[in-house]
Amino acid sequence: MTTQTIQPAAATAGWDIRRVPGIGGLALGGIAAVLILLWVGSDGYKQTLVTSAATYALIALGMYVPYLMAGSLSMAYSAYAGIGGYAVGLVSSKTGLPLAVAWLVGPIVAALLAVLLGLVTRRLSGFFLAAVTLLFGMAFTAFLIDAEALSGGSGGLGNLRPLNLFGWTPSHYQVVLGSAVIVCVIAFLLDRLRLSPWGVIVRTMRDAPRAVEAAGVRVPVLNLVALALGAAIAAVGGGLFTYSAGSITPDTFTLNIVFLAIFMPLIGGAGTPWGAVAGAVIAVELTLNFPAIQTSGTLLLALGVLAIMLVAPRGVVGYADKLRTRTWALLRKEPDRG
């Protein structure tokens, strides 16, 4: 009896923040976010860079779940981000509903569409899946241009209402701040999800789907859930970008962004979702904020991706982690020798 009463107290006393799963990534990510926001200050252009980076990061984080955890490369993410964006545009221009509703509707619609596309392509993998989902992204753009009554055609939707959260309307800087917070929260949660039982099952689907099936989980169904989750996250990013840019057109989310989103985790490191975030920041810095060789920023990025794939397959975060472990090992060995 006594041990039972003591145990909870002991557990509380033994609770150690350093042992919270994913806390290390969150701490580093948070520090980086604060530094970036300090660098940005009140500079309007730099603020735009932050919201762009946040959007890229959210699309890459959305892809992280099916692509790097479950191992299937779906490339329809321009459509999912677009849905998130058009949800904001449509709720603003066609309804009297509060704008916040768009962030509920957009991700849900994107998730449902991902399930639908996932059902149709359930037998496909690898190159076939990539091709079909790319074509789907193209067809979605074509649809946005064609369906003028709904989407405003190639002109898109603009003049969005400001967000009103229970009487509070965030300033532009607060939106920038908010987008950084959202990215950090989602990256932190995905990092934890990766370690969780759910994450373990999904990651096992990648190498050993037969084992997952033999353990009692229906792999095709779980795959759909992973796709839906990814699409919903990308839609949040799409909504965020549309709101801070104030408009959306069929060209806002191009296939280019999808390609970049494939490479971001490679640049940053595929081992953790924070790698995708780091990759997004680097991608935005190179493609949008590289005044010296502006036109070649994307080329530099593309060549960098190839180089990383060949030389440092663990990416920037993985490389830093290896460096850290080595340094620790060295520091610990030193006293023994001396």
Among residue numbers 11 through 70, which ones bind another protein (CB under 8 A)? Answer: 21-22
Q: Give the count of beta carbons closer than 10 Å to the beta carbon of residue 261.
A: 29
x/- track of binding to another protein for residues 84-123 (CB under 8 A): ------------------------------------xx-x
State how far the Cα of 49 lies from the Cα of 299, in Å rounded to an integer: 19
Among 28, 181, 196, 247, binds another protein (CB under 8 A): 196
Among 305, 315, 316, 317, binds another protein (CB under 8 A): 305
Q: Which is nearer to another protein, 22 or 89 (CB)?
A: 22
In angstroms, give the least distance from the CB of 197 to another protein.
Answer: 3
Q: Which is nearer to another protein, 120 or 323 (CB)?
A: 120
Q: Which is nearer to another protein, 200 or 323 (CB)?
A: 200
State how far the Cα of 105 lies from the Cα of 109, in Å rounded to an integer: 6
State how far the Cα of 100 lies from the Cα of 91, in Å rounded to an integer: 9
263 binds another protein (CB under 8 A): yes
Cα separation values, 333 from 48, 329, 337, 338, Å: 47, 6, 7, 9
x/- track of binding to another protein for residues 210-229 (CB under 8 A): xxxxxxxxxx-xx--x---x
Cα separation values, 153 from 3, 140, 161, 301, Å: 69, 12, 20, 32
Q: Residue written as tokens 């033999």? A: 214
In angstroms, give the least distance from the CB of 162 to another protein.
Answer: 30
Residue 285: both structure tokens together: 């810095």
In angstroms, give the least distance from the CB of 224 to another protein.
Answer: 9
In angstroms, give the least distance from the CB of 244 to another protein.
Answer: 26
Residue 269: both structure tokens together: 């490191």
Instruction: With H, G, I as helix, E, B as strand and everything else as coil, classify residue 125.
Output: coil
